[in-house]
Structure 1
Amino acid sequence: LMPIRNLLQKIPNLLLRLKPCLLMSPISVSQFLPAELMKFDVVIFDEASQIVPEDAIGAIYRGKTIVVAGDDKQLPPTSFFLKSLIEEFDWDKIRDEDVEVFDSILDECIGVGLPIKTLRWHYRSKHEELIAFSNHHFYNGTLITFPSAIAKHEALGLKLVYVPDGIYDRGGRRDNIKEAEVVANLVFEHFQKYPNKTLGVITFSIAQMTAVEEAIEQRRRHQPEFEHFFKEDRLEGFFVKNLENAQGDERDVIIISLGYGYDPQRQITMNFGPINKAGGERRLNVAITRARERTILVTSIKSSDIDMKSTKAEGMVLLKKYLEYAEKGPAALNLPKQKQGEFESPIEEDVANVVRQLGYTVVPKVGYSSCPIDIGVVDPNSGNYLLGIEFDGATYASSNSARDRDRLREQVLSQLSWKIHRIWSPAWVARRESEIKRLATAIEEARKLQTKVERQTANFPSENCTEDLPAKADVHKVQFSGINKIGFPYKVHELNVNFNSHVKVSSSRSGMVVPHIEFYREENRQLQSRLLEELVREEGPIHFDVAVRRLASAWGLRRCSPKIVQVVKDALNLLLVSGKVITKGYFLWPPDMREVPVRVPVADVPESKRALEHVPPEEIERAMQLIVQYALSISVDSLIAETAKVFGFSHVKEKSRQRLYDIYKKLLFEKKLECTNNIVTLLNK
């Protein structure tokens, strides 16, 4: 076989015609791409804070333009990182001079005065508690973050889990076994309560990472039913990593294990591994900003246990403050008074008084960043926010463009469950009574909508549907046969979207043409609701996940993201309010359907074969009754197996088998079937 470098030297032009965009590490560029033969229009460095200049030079030489993307508040390149890959360290014996922090290519570019474009809007965190600490202590409040309408929920925000009996084995394994066991318990508890949410664990040391992995492995041996949660998936799968390897990862929920603490002699030293070494504060920033929805901090010490007289390391100072933040909440940030809730103008105060007279509590300046929501109207039942009221004041004026003010901001807030009502100051002054009526109507509609949607969609999964979507089938070419004994052929309804899935939009500044996905546009929500109603009418009852994939597939989108799921939820909410669709669990039903027929998959129509968890329980019940009716009598195991075969499965996994068995037990309880000596028959009435 020819070495890769030799091959690329022989086909430099062909390679770039076949693959005009190459994804490589800086070192690979230097090793494999001939410098004189292969040049690029643009070279982009990602996570540039971790790339040393000497590694980047080869790629820079090969590019006409460079784009250096990174965060100088996150992981720097260090000699410690390189050394820790091949050596075991005794953290207690590491000296500060053992860890050298180098300048990165990002630092060098900033130093020579290259133009800087700062990305200020923060989208990842679905609860502001997850980013407020970093925004305050690392970014000086310059990030624009967005509060969630769900003020308090066990599945959102920052949670502290204190392990009072945790012991750090300083002279031995250098881990905290008790804390690792608590982390393992939290992992399995998470998969039990939130099976559709992604999870990761970050530890402060390699030794603690190993301890957590061992604790989880022991639980896996005793609970094999959880095994499918540990499948390999680089982007969304479960992981256990130490501080050095977590940058770039994100998950719905992150569990952080501190590990360090009191030793068996109840002594504690201020040596917390890389945290109190050079660049330790940047490692901390990485760890605490990996979660989208929830961070769980597991620690055997409290903030008061960290003695700042023994160390001046910036990482330790911020770790102490972060522990205090986890203990006390946002109050520990000591934000300026205006950010803690004051009215900006007399009009805002007047509106707040009107809302109070309507019987609701108001919270001024909701949020911790420089662009809070002017007034939040609190739901008296849940304590969450019913409505956000925004004015044409300082927050509105601070946006650079109408697009930011009137579209993007409201779009982001709607994804965080906000309903926004805007009041224009001139209108309030000139038509106060009519504006009060409009405000009262908005609050009442928000209250009704929240009550109805919470009742019907509380159990909907918020999973990331990342599996590939099936290709669209030409259902008109399939000749459906007649009804067989057990069921009807599943008829796949084709959804037609009357425009291209991607519309090219020309940028006025650069003249570049960029794709814009029409699926996310707010003006298409009515169309999506109509298509969803059509899908439910023709194929209902249908599982929510299937509806998401079918609707996305109709737009030509091959993969589902959390953003796509949210769009479909918004479209569904419109149908729920109007009563055009009802829900039973995760399934969407036509409102007039009383009994669901058994629908079986059709050959050559991949969309007709549903996963067993996507088949309504009512349909499975009916299939079981028909099987028993035609068989006259059948064993329990055979009934389960034959039911699976009806829906196209010759073998089923344990989870699916358990679901079928639970439905069978329900039929027994409802006296629709009876079982004697393991033989199932129809109940004689």
Structure 2
Amino acid sequence: MEHARSHPELTLGVAAFGLPQAEAIRQELEVLRHGDPSCEEFFASHDKEPFFVKNLENVQGDERDVIFISIGYGRAADGTVSMNFGPLNQQGGERRLNVLITRARRRCEVFSNLRADDIDLSRTQARGVAALKSFLQYAEAGTGSARAGAGDRPASILSKLVAEGLRGLGYEVRHGVGSGQTGVELAVVDPRRSDRYLLAIETDGDVYAGARWARDRERLRTQVLESLGWKVYRLWSAEWFKDPQRELERIARAIEEAKNEGDGPEQSTGCRKASTEGHGALHVQNVSSALAGTADEDKPCSYRLARIDVNMAGRPLHEMPVDRLVEYVVQVVEQESPVHRSDAVSRIVHAAGMKRAGEVTVGAIEKAIAKAQGDGLLVVRGEFLWRPGMKMPPVRDRRALAASRRCFERIAPEEIARAVELVVRAGAAVPPDEAVTAACRMLGFSRPTDDYRKAAGAAVDTLLASGRLRKHGHFLVAAERRTAKAG
């Protein structure tokens, strides 16, 4: 339930070591969902990768962003630990465990009342149990305290493996550079200047897990390090253990790219402490507060439907003088610019007390739109009607509108682009996928559709081409401010 509240954008799967444990989790989750329906949107989302609870033997090919692993087996009433771990004791148990831990794209979280030291390999020859002990050792090392001082932070197993691999490629790597929460796990030294670093390598190990809040782990930490001049490479343990050589090659490419881009932070700069104030507005629910001090045209607002008074004068709408229809069209555009032309027709029809418009009525209003355009009373861009002089559209939250009035296809591309831009400005440095998702929610939609992602992807391309945004490594960052305002 906590994952559904804090990370609804990340797909989730739960894997238990036994069928009874999986069933117990399902039943308990049903009770929690019944008592708190606020998370139902998460459980109904992710059509292609829905939430699941499965036992170990049934998790085959079910990749998710996050996997929760419930060990299930534990101490007996007398405190003893049996070396029976169900399917792991069987032949091929180690392969089952390997399949499980590589199902997670981003991270695994392990739930167990056992530690690695509780597993006595002298009492079993099962390779699956030995693999479990190694996995728990890694999990324990990867979630240690992040409060160690500068330079004396214990290196995790993963960071040691990565450092050894990079040293084998000829790079100089240092552990635990920096102090407090701004220290980096691994730092690659610039061979041209030993007092500078090329790259910070962050894993989902001790510092990552030690961050108090989810947003600190996901984006705040990276943003703070980049503000200090670091180029940051994020390494996920699941990807490393799935294919260490591939990940090592990726890191090496990132190091060479950093070398070509120029100098990294000086060692004194990389080690100094930094405040995290001002870096809190990273998720969509914080975008508005992040923009609170900006100009009004930079703030999202609620969508307001146009209100107009249509005087039928005892005649059908399509028989009204075209100039009168032009007045109605202009009133709608003045209030809702940019507005989809079909929505403009709908506003006039509903204001006239009609449930729907026939072809004749639609044709009459379309003629009025053409006349208004010809008279310079509105601007037509594709399927959208704009108020003359409006350069930048407002970003409007549509969540209060009826479902029938909310449709991605009726949002102007420029408004989608503006939403993406505001998200990036609020977050300072945002991965493209996260910017697209956050902009979707800013516009009032719970999750993006494929059509929206396509439109938002085109919007990002437009923003990059126009110079309003630029790429910084794997992130989008805002360019210098322009003077254009929402009209």
TM-score range, shorter chain: 0.3 to 0.5
TM-score (norm 2): 0.46
TM-score (norm 1): 0.34
